[in-house]
Amino acid sequence: MASKLGIALSSWRRRSVGRKIFDILVGLFALAGFAIISAWAIYQLGFTNNKGSVDRNSRYMLSIDEMKSLKDSTLTTEQIQQRWMRQYVRLAVFSKFYPVNAQLITTAAQYGHDPMLVDRMMAASTMYIDNLDEYNNLLRQVEQILNRYPQSQTPNVITWMDSPEWAALKEAIVHDKALIVEVGRLTGVEPRLIVGCLIGEQIRLFNTARETVKQYLGPVKVLNVQSQFSYGVNGIKISTAKAIEEHLKDPSSPFYMGPRYEHLLDYTVQGKAQEDERYNRLVDYRNHLYSYLYTACILHQTMLQWQRAGYDISDRPDILFTLFNVGFSQSVPKPNPVCGGSHIKIHGQTYTFGAIGFDFYYSGELAEDFPFWRQRFIPGDNEITEEEIAYIQGSVSNCKRPPRGWEYVKKDSVPAHPADEEYLYPEDDDQFAGTYANE
């Protein structure tokens, strides 16, 4: 055997380099072919098949999948809401044991819109818990405590939100959602703050012109547009509108919003005609874009004024609403500002303007239409485009308006309501008659 090996080695040494390389390549190809044929044979014979098995939790998983969705159930809205509250209790208990899973389920529930989804997710998570005794015991204790107290029938802890006026106002505000959201984008102001100012002003009008509201706003769900001394749906004074426009143009002003916004409220005309255009912007009862633009500017400008003075009120909606109400002249930055403003009486109870805005802001009402921003004021970098300016300037409708100055006429010579004057409204605008409220 050794002699044969020696002969083979001797023969290998005598071969040329080219022949050696050829022999090596032939050997490598032979090995590769053998490997490929072997792998194919193993595959064909089924040695690589994973037959699998039935998961030990398969029956449990089926029961989770078969849980009925409440979306198509016969439960009332109130019953579904009560189900949601119970789900949050269960999640609170679950979080004591598995906080990561509880947080994930809570986040998913916000997008699922179906409390049964929470049931399924929790059931899927508890499937892997070997001992559920502690969890079930704590859940049982919490539910026993809750069951001791009967379900209260009080609709809303914020009493003024129980009124029919608020129900009508909500619908009217949602009609303007697209405008308010667009103004938020244009000005960098959270739309929910703009709505807070709007609600304070409209609730006040509802209770000073109740008969008008019952007759007109209730049936058609439109906003009151003021046309005496303060104008539009948010009660902007002419002097305030002028001040806002000046602040936009003056880089030295503590209210200056930055170069992006300098042309936000530019006019299509010059000179004295601007006064008429300003008035038309504010009392437009068909398109409230300018009312919201001026409102957003007030909020943004007063926030910047206080910020530059060393006081950050960007996270104080109550103070922002108060400053919107009292005006630039009373916006004096200082430590420890307080909520207040005009007194508004609603069903026998007196509120301040700032408190009503604050109540709405943190109530959760209309949160789907006007969600909370992570940052209430977003400074813009790029200047407003010509297209955006054209959109803003083209947003004044051709509706008929009360003649300027009629608010200074003696009351006994003015109709009880401006809609009584036929020339104030075109014939096809009857549905809007009554949207003006006298102060």
Residue 298 banded pLDDT, cuts 50, 70, 90: very high
The predicted structure's pLDDT at residue 412: 52
The CA–CA distances, whole Å, from 103 to 122, 143, 299 equal 11, 21, 35
Region of residue 348 (phi > 0: left; psi between -120 and 50: alpha; otherwise: beta): left
> What is the CB neighbour count within 10 angstroms for residue 102?
20
d(CA 368, CA 341): 28
**Paired residues of 236 in beta bridges:** 231
Domain identity same for 300 and 178 = yes
Does residue 192 contact residue 373 with C-beta atoms inside 8 Å?
yes
Residue 373 is assigned to a structural domain of this protein: yes
Residue 41's domain comprises 16-48
Query: Mean pLDDT lowest for which of 220-224, 239-243, 403-407?
Result: 403-407
Our count of domains for the chain comes to 3
The distance of Cα 296 from the centroid of its chain, to the nearest Å, equals 16
pLDDT at position 56? 44
Q: Are residues 331 and 254 in the same domain?
A: yes
If we measure between CA atoms, which residue out of 297, 198, 290, 313 comes closest to residue 246?
A: 297
- What confidence tens digit (pLDDT) does each residue in 13-37 have? 666 767 667 767 777 777 777 777 7
Task: Report the C-alpha gap between 235 and 7 in whole angstroms.
Answer: 112
* 35-75 confidence digits (pLDDT tens): 777 766 666 665 555 554 444 444 444 444 444 554 545 66
Q: How far apart are CA 158 and CA 364, in angstroms?
A: 11
Residue 114 shares a structural domain with residue 26: no
Mean pLDDT of 377-397: 91
* Token representation of residue 398: 């051709």
What is the predicted pLDDT for the residue at 26? 72
CA-closest candidate to residue 196, choices 343, 333, 367: 367
Are 215 and 188 part of one and the same domain?
yes
Q: For residues 102 and 108, what is the distance between their CA atoms, to the nearest angstrom?
A: 10
Is residue 250 pLDDT above 90, yes or no? yes
Helical residues (DSSP H) of 256-326, grouped into ranges: 273-282, 289-308, 317-326
85 and 33 in a common domain:
no
